[in-house]
Each structure stands twice: as structure tokens, then as C-alpha cells.
Amino acid sequence: MSDLPSKSIGAALASGQPAAPLAASAGARPSVIQLAFKEKGALYAAYMPVFVDGGLFVPTNREYRLGEDVYLLLALPDDNQRYPVAGKIAWLTPANASGGRTQGIGVRFPADEKSRMVKIKIEEILGTQISSSKPTQTI
């Protein structure tokens, strides 16, 4: 966990639950997660603008650990294209989290051109909704 920026670790702890290290195979290939957003509201609930390069909350019961690599294959509302993002886990919401929050992971997008374009696309879809005070599955 020491190779992660402290704000990422802090974000993981924001759920009120300790971010205990979870078992993962060393040198394992990144998980591939297909994530399809059919509605703008679901995308809003999952988008994580707290990360400078963008990120998404992914509901999952699978155990991951902070810093683990994951490969997202995204489908956005009203868009037939799939967007690949090779991200890192920077947030954990454990099972039985306080406030009835959904178990899952927050995937931080990398600082590369392809991911920047995905972030821009997401923010175009969400428009002014990004600054809404409506609750999300994230911070």
C-alpha cells in the first residue's frame, strides 16, 4: 500500500471501515470488468470526480486490494462504443459498510490520453449533474 498516494488511501478509509489488505496473487493478471451504463443516473452514481484523472465505482462482491490493477471495458449511455481503461483500485467499500453503501471498488483512471478522453466523454454526458448534491455510491 505504500506506493499509493495518501489521498487514495484516505479515500478508501472514508467509508468508515478499515481498509484491510485482501488476498491477491502476486503477479496475477489484472481482472477484466465489463461495466455497462444504460442510464445517466447510474453513471452519475458511479463517477468519481474526486480523482484528478477520473474514476468509477464498480459494485462487486469479489475481494480486491488497494493498488491492484484492473482493466475496465466501459459502455456509456447512448453510445455503442466500448472504452477500455487500465486502472488501479484506489477505494474499497467492504461488505456491510456503514450507511448501507454498496460493496465494491473505486477504480482510478491512469494519467494517459485515452483515459483523459474517457473522462471528458463521461463529464460531457453528465453535464451540470456532476456538481449535484444528489448522493452517489462514492464520497
DSSP assignment letter at 47: B
pLDDT at 136: 56
Separation between Cα atoms, residue 66 and residue 59, nearest integer Å: 15
Mean pLDDT of 82-108: 90
Q: What domain range is 71 assigned to? A: 6-131
Per-residue model confidence as pLDDT tens digits over 8-50: 333 333 333 333 333 344 456 788 999 999 999 899 989 988 8
Residue 139 lies in a domain: no
Q: Report residue 125 as a C-alpha cell.
A: 454526458
List, in sequence order, the alpha helices (H) in 1-139.
6-13, 40-46, 113-126
CB burial readout 105-116, b (16+ within 10 A) else e? bbbbbeeeeebe
Whether residue 11 is contained in a domain is answered as yes
137 belongs to a structural domain: no
Note whether residue 1 is domain-resident: no
Q: Look up the CATH number of the domain holding residue 101.
A: 2.40.10.220
Number of domains in the chain: 1
- Asked whether residue 138 is assigned to any structural domain, the reply reads no
Greater pLDDT, 137 or 76: 76
Residue holding cell 477484466?
32
Residue 67 lies in a domain: yes
Counting residues of the chain whose pLDDT is more than 70, the rounded percentage is 72
Average pLDDT taken over every residue of the chain:
78
Enumerate helices (H) and strands (E) in the chain, giving the number of each. 3, 5
